[in-house]
Amino acid sequence: MSVYSYLRRAYALKRLTIVFEGFVGIARNEPVAAGQRARNTQTISYWLDQLRGSSQQQVTHTLFKQMKGAQRRGNALRFNSQTVLLELLVESNLALDLASYSAFMCSDSARHEGSR
């Protein structure tokens, strides 16, 4: 994994998180203007496309690292936004769900321990 790929993936996830923070911050009964909805859709599509070169494991791992940072800083809005983002990424087959990611991490660590 190159540093450039990691940075691009991390930045794309950060930008998507910012968009989702805006969604979480909007009251449910507050209507979203059609122009804003179109811009949001376009922005989300662009940043999702930036993740397409990464594996599901890489996307999930990077997002979990960012979620851990948000949780450590006590930033509930960011953490909640990232949780919603993770659901979208899983539904879009760009990230792994928690059970699959955990199984991957367990098999990966067992493989590394076996090679020692």
pLDDT of the chain along its 116 residues, tens only? 589 999 999 999 999 999 988 876 665 556 666 777 788 889 999 999 999 999 999 999 999 999 999 999 999 999 999 999 999 999 999 999 988 888 877 776 655 555 55
Give the model's pLDDT for residue 30: 63
Q: Which two tokens stand for residue 25?
A: 């911050």
Give the model's pLDDT for residue 98: 86
Query: Rg for the chain (alpha carbons), in Å?
Result: 16
Write down the pTM of the prediction: 0.82
Residue 108 CA to residue 80 CA, distance in Å, equals: 28
Give the model's pLDDT for residue 85: 95
Tell me if 51 sits within 8 A of 13, measured CB to CB: yes
Give the model's pLDDT for residue 112: 55
Give the model's pLDDT for residue 40: 82
Question: DSSP states of 67-108 as a string?
Answer: HHHHHHHT-HHHHHHHHHHHHHHHHTTSS--HHHHHHHHHHH
